[in-house]
Amino acid sequence: MKVRASIKKICKNCRLIRRKNKRLIICSISKHKQRQLKKPNFKN
């Protein structure tokens, strides 16, 4: 699985899914799996 700042659909089988604070792309081709984490909120 690739962790990226911006995720994009690579083929027509790729699907964008949101789980908790993560955005995932799931595909039948295992190379296309991607994950994006939500930016943390740091308060001083």
Q: Read off the pLDDT of residues 1-44 as tens digits, 9 standing for 90 and up.
A: 899 989 999 999 999 999 887 899 999 999 999 999 777 777 76
User: What pTM was computed for the model?
Assistant: 0.71
User: Cβ(4)–Cβ(33) under 8 Å?
Assistant: no
Residue 42 lies in a domain: no
What are the beta bridge partners of residue 24? Answer: 17, 35
Residue 43 lies in a domain: no
β-strand pairing of 22-26 with 2-3:
unpaired
Residue 14 lies in a domain: yes
pLDDT value for 44: 62
User: Cβ(26)–Cβ(14) under 8 Å?
Assistant: yes
Count of structural domains within the chain: 1
